[in-house]
């Protein structure tokens, strides 16, 4: 068990960095650590006088913001259980999660509240507006009086500031997953699971008080919450939240202005920046010639590396990719030019980290690092030829189980405590972990061959004018669904049938690189983006029936 206490670590950070900027919305004033501490103090008073008890659930729905973060910290440090809910869920899904988790208080944004019906959430005593903590709705006047008193309380003094004692063994959060298949389940994470992730990450990345962090990954997801929020918070960093769904254009502007010390991203955003900003430059005839000349290519690589470094603000210590697999060719290019980029792997059920290696360790291209100290890892039933099998882990930061879902818990955690991740992968002789795809996505051909669609998609996505793709099975054959890069299509002046012709050429080129059992028999062009989860993974199940 870890010595660091989750809540005590938060309290120490607030007290130590009292006058340092803590949270900012992209457009709005900053809150210092002391001001955050004062808001937590007032919310604790509100919780106590609204009848909230330790172990009660507090729902939280909204995009990244300073008040989202304050509400989260106030709930877990009170000893309540925070239930962060992705704002991308429908109103019906949000109401279901609130009922399922039996939330007693609910903090939401105006847009979310407009779609909710109080009568469908019978356990909720009060709904609060996230932008100013005012009351949307309450079940009696006592709550209104408690709110008035709490909001009028003076800020505490830094020398006497202390948070309540909350054990690491206590349940701290129920995180409802946004998986690509099936309805979301409530992952139960203790304070120990959360602090394990924070401590490990901060050992790998040396963040300093005052360092800037741009938080754009959804905080209701374990990846963004742990590493865009909690880990930099305890180091005294200044976190700027991007509330709206970020586009590469918005992100690059933020990076240039704020110069973050660490950039956390999902592959889709990095791949879009590469394809739209970098790839057109390196594919010019002049650049291709320069890259083939020994000595000169090193100078070109340095210029490309410096350019990419500046794109991300010119100040970051680590560019960390997680949430899904990064395209191997893009990773290989970034590593070739010397970019300090690294990939990690995790699941909500581990709060989320499973494996990671910092770039200085020079992890092999295609790996997701080594399994973290707090976990054991094994490959179950590995294929005799490839070594690929299901990745299974157990250890300190593992979830307690799924809330009120013992059947799913038993299906996911075996009697010996091993978490069955559902991911396929292998370990090399040095302990680096490689992922090949999800076991549910693996396609078994009529000849008994295993096809990992993610590996084919990775190659297809590098071909001309391809933005993203999906490989599915239809009547025993492999079909590719492709969403074109519309900017590249316009630049190439392609119209109508020309796009389909180019994609058909791509299919033929791809098949030349693939074994016979992986051949793509048909390719269909889509002109609408694939529907995705909040962490930008394609919802595969929606497309399985498309021929």
Q: What percent of the chain has pLDDT over 70?
A: 96
Mind listing the domains of the chain with CATH numbers? 6-241 (3.40.50.980), 443-543 (3.30.300.30)
Torsions phi, psi for 424 (to 5 deg): -100, 140
Peptide bond into 352 cis (omega under 30): yes
Instruction: State the DSSP string of 348-413.
Output: GGGSSEEE---GGG-PPTTEEEEBPTTEEEEEES--TTT--EEEEEEETT---EETT-HHHHHHHB
pLDDT over 90 at 208, yes or no: yes
| pTM confidence score | 0.84
Query: What is the per-residue pLDDT for 144?
Result: 84
Residue 460's Cβ-count burial label (10 Å; 0-12, 13-18, 19+) is buried
Burial class of residue 310, CB neighbours in 10 A (0-12, 13-18, 19+):
middle
Strands 57-61 and 103-108 turn out to be: parallel
CA angle 348, 349, 353 (to 5 degrees): 65
CA distances from 51 to 108, 132, 230, 254 (A): 19, 21, 27, 41
Calculate mean pLDDT across residues 99-110. 96
Query: Residue 30: is its pLDDT beyond 50?
Result: yes
- 268-325 per-position pLDDT tens digit: 778 888 877 788 878 888 888 888 888 888 898 898 888 888 888 999 988 998 877 7
Q: How far apart are alpha carbons 235 and 78 in whole angstroms?
A: 21
Beta bridge partners, 212, equal 238
pLDDT band for 444, please (50, 70, 90 cuts): low
CA 245 to chain centre: 13
List, in sequence order, every residue forming a beta bridge with 478; answer none if it has no partner: 473, 520
pLDDT tens by residue, 133-148:
999 988 876 788 888 8
List the one residue out of 198, 184, 157, 281 whose CA is nearest residue 5: 198
Residue 340 — very low, low, confident or very high, per pLDDT cuts 50/70/90? confident
pLDDT tens-digit map of 41-92: 999 999 998 889 999 999 999 999 999 999 999 999 999 999 999 898 889 8
pLDDT of residue 449: 65
User: What's the pLDDT band for 180 if we cut at 50, 70, 90?
Assistant: very low
H-type alpha helices, 452-532: 453-460, 486-491, 497-513
Averaged over 404-424, what is the pLDDT? Answer: 95
> Cα 427 to chain center, whole Å?
24
pLDDT of residue 181: 44
Mean pLDDT of all residues in 113-129: 93
Say what angle helices 296-311 and 248-258 make with each other, to 10 degrees: 90
Say yes or no to pLDDT of 496 above 80. Answer: no
In this prediction, residue 183 has a pLDDT band, given cuts at 50, 70 and 90, of low
517 pLDDT band (50/70/90 cuts)? confident
Is there a contact between 297 and 242 (Cβ–Cβ < 8 Å)?
no
Average pLDDT, whole number, for the chain? 89
Spatial separation of the C-alpha atoms in residues 386 and 240, rounded to whole Å: 44
CA distances from 528 to 274, 385, 469, 532 (A): 21, 39, 12, 12
Of 535 and 99, the structure prediction assigns the larger pLDDT to 99
d(CA 349, CA 369): 18
What are 435's strand-pairing partners? 425
* Size (the chain), residues: 547
Residue 533, pLDDT > 80, answer no
Higher pLDDT, residue 437 or 400:
400
Q: Is the pLDDT of residue 413 over 50?
A: yes
pLDDT at 534: 65
């Amino acid at each position: 068990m870890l010595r660091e206490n989750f809540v005590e670590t938060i309290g120490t950070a607030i007290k130590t960095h009292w006058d340092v900027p803590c949270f900012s919305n992209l457009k709005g004033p900053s809150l210092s650590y002391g001001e955050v501490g004062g808001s937590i103090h007032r919310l604790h008073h509100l919780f106590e006088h609204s009848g909230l008890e330790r172990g009660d659930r507090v729902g939280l729905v909204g995009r990244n913001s300073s008040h989202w973060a304050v509400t989260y910290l106030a709930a877990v440090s009170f000893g309540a259980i925070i239930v962060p809910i992705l704002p991308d869920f429908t109103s019906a899904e949000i109401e279901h999660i609130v009922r399922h988790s039996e939330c007693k208080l609910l903090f939401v944004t105006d847009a979310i509240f407009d779609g909710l019906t109080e009568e469908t959430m019978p356990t909720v005593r009060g709904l609060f507006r996230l932008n100013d903590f005012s009351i949307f709705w309450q079940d009696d006047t006592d709550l209104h009086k408690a709110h008035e008193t709490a909001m009028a309380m003076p800020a505490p003094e830094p020398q006497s500031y202390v948070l309540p004692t909350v054990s690491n063994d206590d349940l701290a959060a129920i995180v409802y997953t946004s998986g690509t298949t099936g309805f979301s389940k409530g992952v139960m994470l203790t304070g120990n699971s959360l602090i394990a992730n924070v401590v490990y990450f901060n050992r790998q990345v040396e963040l300093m008080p005052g360092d800037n962090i741009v938080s754009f990954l959804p905080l209701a997801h374990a990846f963004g919450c742990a590493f865009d929020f909690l880990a930099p918070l305890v180091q005294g960093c200044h976190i700027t939240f991007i509330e709206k769904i970020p586009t590469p254009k918005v992100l690059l502007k933020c990076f240039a202005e704020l110069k973050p010390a660490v950039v956390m991203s999902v592959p889709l955003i990095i791949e879009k920046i590469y394809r739209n900003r970098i790839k057109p430059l390196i594919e010019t005839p002049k650049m291709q010639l320069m890259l083939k000349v020994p000595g000169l290519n090193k100078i070109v690589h340095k210029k490309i590396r410096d350019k990419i470094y500046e794109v991300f603000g010119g100040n970051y210590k680590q560019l960390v990719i997680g949430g899904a697999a990064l395209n191997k060719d893009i990773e290989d290019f970034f590593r070739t030019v010397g970019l300090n980029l690294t990939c990690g792997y995790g699941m909500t059920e581990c709060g989320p980290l499973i494996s990671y290696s910092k770039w200085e360790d020079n992890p092999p291209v295609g790996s997701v690092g080594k399994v973290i100290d707090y976990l054991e890892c094994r490959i179950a039933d590995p294929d005799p030829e490839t070594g690929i099998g299901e990745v299974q882990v157990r250890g300190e930061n593992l979830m307690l189980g799924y809330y009120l879902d013992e059947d799913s818990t038993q299906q996911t955690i075996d009697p010996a405590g091993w978490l069955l991740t559902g991911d396929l992968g292998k370990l090399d002789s040095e302990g680096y972990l490689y992922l090949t795809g999800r076991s549910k996505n693996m396609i078994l051909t009529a000849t008994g061959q295993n096809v990992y669609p993610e590996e084919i998609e990775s190659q297809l996505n590098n071909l001309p004018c391809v933005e993203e793709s999906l490989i599915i099975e239809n009547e025993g054959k492999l079909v590719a669904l492709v969403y074109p890069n519309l900017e590249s299509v316009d630049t190439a002046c392609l119209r109508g049938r020309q796009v389909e012709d180019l994609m058909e050429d791509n299919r033929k080129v791809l098949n030349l690189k693939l074994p016979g059992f992986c051949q793509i028999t048909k390719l269909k062009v889509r002109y609408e983006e694939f529907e995705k989860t909040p962490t930008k993974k394609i919802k595969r199940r929606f497309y399985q029936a498309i021929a």
